[in-house]
Structure 1
């Protein structure tokens, strides 16, 4: 991290509403958790009286199985954002430039600037066509947040080849990829994959994730990671959750069906963006502030997507449980 840049970088707005009186559609986390996760958390209390085993062998093995890579390529982190910070920390230096999609997750811009580097924005649907030469790194978010579309696997692999030829690291944020059937780039030379357990397993406060990279890039990631960077409960619950394949498949099926059902009911009153993620981006033909207030009065928190660059009349809504989705759609239809 560049000390001279830290004072000039501000915080980034995110979804998530702490008001227990509303149903939170502003954060894209699973409203359900794997059966047995709470018991696993409780069982970690005793072992938490000791330092974690810094090797995290069981967590690495579970993560490797989850994304189909070698356990030695997995670097445990306290969430997907910690994986991104680590990725930029070992690939980006002061004065560098980094390609980033726009609109997309706001933390890319912040983390790159904290390294003393400059983010260079490219339209999210054109990022795989951008020339990576002369950039220290390029970032792809798949599925992209907040628009929702996943990158075409063949196009993504072709772009990784371009990045390798240009000696440019490709940082791939796969925080929502486990809601799709698309393959991970984990284990591919030249790529740093960042994964989060927050979204699929509905545990944002646990702070569990990981990065994956090979060769010298993987060695640098592992050397730079904080010692004991993953708590005992996070490591235990994370490993347990990643082995719950039936839960993952049920969640993917539910989200896919509900997302399609919500789209059918929200169009044409709203512009609904194509999505492979557990959320929908809506273009609003009207007063966004009034819509947000209308939704909250009826017990729903939405994500004001105007905080994303290039979006000036949009909200993002999570895909939750069927009865919650029905109630939200009814409230939004009242406004439209």
Structure 2
């Protein structure tokens, strides 16, 4: 981290309401959790009297989850093998991103970041003394990575929801590798799609979170994956005791709940399509592969701020919290809404459509 740059770095607004009387559509965590999580957490407390490190079970489960070998097998000089040894446990996806930027960004480096997208990319790059260069999210993969010291891709992108085109992403990854530009890929929502992870690809650091799919933001469990030289850097820089013992136990348990993941994907896909069809009759709604929808609420008497404020107020009057998306770069008339359970989604549609 660059101490000289701290005074110029601001906090980033996020979704999530602390008002327990509101149904929270402003954050994208699954409202459903795997059965048995509470028992796993409580059972791990007995082991919490000792320092936790190694996390072999967690790393093996994470490796399986993203398509790597679960055993600590060796990889060759090109880093083409991906295994549990390449999984770095972190206290959530954001900690994985901080670690990734910490081992790839030096003061003065310019790093490509998508816009609109997760605001923490730019903040974390600035904390390292780097300069984030914002590019329209749907144009980033066309850029020449040779002009930059790093690049970031979010897939599916937050808040727009689209999955990166696999052919374009693979071509961009190859160009990054050819010129030695590290590529950080945020896959926080990828497990809602069934698309393959880039974990194990040379020149790539993947950041993953257990927050979204498993509905446990307060647990703070995630991981990074890198191979070859990037993997060595991650292992060297990782903090010890990166997870609590209960977080590691719950994370291991959740990552092995394959049936839960499949049921969640099916529910989210069906509800997302239903919500988009209903909302599209009144608003502009972006296609999405994620558990949320970006909604352009349009102009109210040519005043986009008034339009957004009116929708936010209508939602709150209906007992709901939705995300003001004006805090994302390049957006000025949008809100973002999570895809929750059917009866909750019905309440959202009633509030936003005045039904």
Between the aligned partners of 2:317 and 2:228, the Cα distance in structure 1 is: 53
4+ runs of 1 displaced by more than 6 Å? none
Partner of residue 56, structure 1: 55
Partner of residue 304, structure 1: 324
Cα drift, residue 271 of structure 1: 0.3
SS of residue in 2 equivalent to 1:7: helix
Query: Contact (CA 8 Å) 1:59, 1:239: kept in 2 or not?
Result: yes
Partner of residue 66, structure 1: 65
Q: Does 2:100 correspond to 1:87?
A: yes
Cα drift, residue 216 of structure 1: 1.1
Between the aligned partners of 1:249 and 1:38, the Cα distance in structure 2 is: 21
Gaps of 5+ in 1: none
Residue in structure 1 matching 2:309, options 289, 296, 306? 289
TM-score (norm. length: structure 1): 0.98
Partner of residue 16, structure 1: 16
TM-score (norm. length: structure 2): 0.93
Q: How does 1:138-177 map to 2 (within 5 A)?
A: 138-177=151-190
Between the aligned partners of 1:129 and 1:217, the Cα distance in structure 2 is: 24
Query: Contact (CA 8 Å) 1:101, 1:140: kept in 2 or not?
Result: yes
Cα drift, residue 134 of structure 1: 2.9
Q: How does 1:20-35 map to 2 (within 5 A)?
A: 20-35=20-35
Residue in structure 2 matching 1:275, options 288, 294, 300? 288
Query: Contact (CA 8 Å) 1:134, 1:166: kept in 2 or not?
Result: no
Between the aligned partners of 1:122 and 1:166, the Cα distance in structure 2 is: 20
Cα drift, residue 7 of structure 1: 2.0
SS of residue in 1 equivalent to 2:264: helix
1:22-49 residue CA offsets vs partner (Å, 9 max, x unmatched)? 1000000000000111110011111011
Between the aligned partners of 2:113 and 2:189, the Cα distance in structure 1 is: 17
Partner of residue 263, structure 1: 276
Q: Does 2:151 correspond to 1:131?
A: no
Count of aligned pairs between the two proteins: 334
Between the aligned partners of 2:326 and 2:34, the Cα distance in structure 1 is: 33
Between the aligned partners of 1:214 and 1:127, the Cα distance in structure 2 is: 24
Cα drift, residue 268 of structure 1: 2.3
SS of residue in 1 equivalent to 2:253: helix
SS of residue in 2 equivalent to 1:35: coil
Query: Contact (CA 8 Å) 1:92, 1:112: kept in 2 or not?
Result: yes
Query: Contact (CA 8 Å) 1:148, 1:279: kept in 2 or not?
Result: yes
CA RMSD of aligned residues (A): 0.8
Cα drift, residue 6 of structure 1: 1.4
Partner of residue 113, structure 2: 100
Between the aligned partners of 2:256 and 2:212, the Cα distance in structure 1 is: 15
Query: Contact (CA 8 Å) 1:104, 1:145: kept in 2 or not?
Result: yes
Between the aligned partners of 1:152 and 1:241, the Cα distance in structure 2 is: 28
Query: Contact (CA 8 Å) 2:318, 2:347: kept in 1 or not?
Result: no
1:152-189 residue CA offsets vs partner (Å, 9 max, x unmatched)? 12221111000001110000000000000211000110
Between the aligned partners of 1:270 and 1:276, the Cα distance in structure 2 is: 18
Between the aligned partners of 2:54 and 2:285, the Cα distance in structure 1 is: 45
Query: Contact (CA 8 Å) 1:292, 1:304: kept in 2 or not?
Result: yes
Q: Does 2:246 correspond to 1:233?
A: yes
SS of residue in 1 equivalent to 2:219: coil
Between the aligned partners of 2:264 and 2:258, the Cα distance in structure 1 is: 10
Query: Contact (CA 8 Å) 2:40, 2:249: kept in 1 or not?
Result: yes
